[in-house]
Structure 1
């Protein structure tokens, strides 16, 4: 993303007037376009059912929901991402913020129907060792990114180490990422909700300066989104239901994202510092498979 577009977002954030000149500059034209797109978003409130009854969102006052179509508008037309293929289940927008504002953040929701993820490895995972393996993988992935003209990426460390709620079957953690020579690190806040046939994936797009704000909002987010009856983790039927080929450790390393391919998982957003972020740690599938083998003790073929 170029400096011109980032400047446009800054102008939008401070509310400068639009289109006064008879011949608007490219900056003014882009600003007007963003404002028109943002004004056209159809926010929904209250209770939302996802994917024909798979899950339900019960939003507290102030929170708003954007459906997959509007979410795609935000991702591709306001945040200026490439169209990455599979669409989300929507987006949660916190109170008093807009996806088009420079200090805005949002939670993108998607679903991976890879089967029932066993959580019996929860107490066995050494997250310090896992972090080192992830950092190694990100370094390898960064080399590929740079060859294709993208900024280098570094996994600095945990912004918040993984935590698993065994009763609710929900896991959440945060990573601190660094892109190129940026003077502000990126926050990648992850929430995973285990279900009968797959995992609800919630990713918060934000800057490191918003860590405390998102941490404060996490309990509300965890409580407002859940599977409906028949799709819950406890509804699993061992005799008929598919079991995922990975466990909790793979959720953290990004195994689900890696399967989608190197560039299909690029989703960008705008930070308070007006720069591009990427949701998730992008890594090559072959590197991720090595992670699985180290973490689970299985062969690389088992991790496929």
Structure 2
């Protein structure tokens, strides 16, 4: 299972690293940029504009609102493969980005949400009652420092986690988990962004999504992650309460491990996650460039 998650996050990291390179924001569009734009123009009929209900593979469905658009997994996967031929995104469930069905301008270019399903089995939630938030945060910081070793060797900016934006919160009724950390380049508060990671637990694994937004815009954007998470509904037979004791696979880690250092060391989760969101944060600060510009294609109005 460690190799599965590592492959998935490495694939997303490579794709985002290439898509969000500074060249896409400041220079002329690359051949890859143009290919992605053409891809979305050609397949605009596959993009779902809110308000609407969208399916997440064979696991669940969720609701998107006006001003949001859903990029189905096959289309998102093709875009990733343009930038990285080795992308292995078999667990990708789609993406949610700003978008309207006409040529109107959206009110807020908040970035993008990547959704994926992690088939690690049934995650027991017993340890949610005994979380020690300081230890969890220390584990995440230690994992971030570990990832900085590679950044130093490559001459890239090192990252630091300065605290919780939203401490881990688990709803035992809905079996949903949300937490967010504040990340920045070391010693540079002006680069700070909030990195959200959420999980909706199901019978066979968990639906996650990644969302990052610049710290300065957090007050008006912080509810986006929670609202999207709240609309996720697992299909009958795939719900957390449908678990069959003694028959179904049980995950090797619990909730605390998914948040803290055990998962980071065992699955390579946070070392890669922070790398993804470091690039993503720079995108959000750019507002209308990078990934948002590439993945947001608005239909032309038929009438003047």
- TM-score, structure 2 length as denominator? 0.70
Normalized per residue, which structure has more helix? 2
**How far apart, CA to CA, are the structure 2 residues paired with 1:107 and 1:66?**
10
Aligned residue in 2 for 1:90 = 94
- What do the CA deviations read for 1:257-281 (whole angstroms, capped 9, x no partner)? 962689976645352323999xxxx
Contact 2:143 2:271 in 1 (8 A): no
Does the alignment pair 1:70 with 2:75? Answer: yes
Instruction: Please state how far the C-alpha of 1:30 moved relative to its aligned partner.
Output: 6.2
Residues of 2 paired with 1:194 and 1:238: CA distance? 16
CA distance in 2, matches of 1:271, 1:64: 18
Aligned to 1:16: none
CA distance in 2, matches of 1:70, 1:234: 32
Please state if 1:47 is matched with 2:53: yes
Alpha-carbon displacement from aligned partner over 1:244-298 (angstroms, at most 9, x marks no partner): 1111111212727962689976645352323999xxxxxxxxxxxxxxxxxxxxx
Which shifted more, 234-243 or 261-270?
261-270
8 A contact 1:93–1:107 mirrored in 2: yes
Distance 1:173 1:31 in 2: 34
In the alignment, structure 1 residue 144 sits paired with structure 2 residue 150: yes
Aligned CA distance change for structure 1 residues 29 and 243 (closer, same or farther; 3 Å): closer
Contact 1:109 1:203 in 2 (8 A): yes
Superposition TM-score, scaled by structure 1 size: 0.70
Aligned mate of 1:207, from 214, 226, 248: 214
2:247 is matched with 240
Unaligned runs of 5+ in 2: 1-19, 291-304
Aligned to 1:216: 223
1 CA distance for matches of 2:271 and 2:140?
18
Alignment gaps of 5+ in structure 1: 9-26, 278-304
Asked whether the 8 Å contact 2:211–2:225 carries over to 1, the reply is: no
Aligned partners of 2:214, 2:84: CA distance in 1, in Å? 17
> How many correspondences in the alignment?
255
RMSD, aligned α-carbons: 3.6
Aligned CA distance change for structure 1 residues 212 and 129 (closer, same or farther; 3 Å): same
CA contact under 8 A between 1:112 and 1:200: conserved in structure 2?
Answer: yes
SS of the equivalent of 2:238 reads: coil
Match of 1:191 among 183, 198, 201: 198
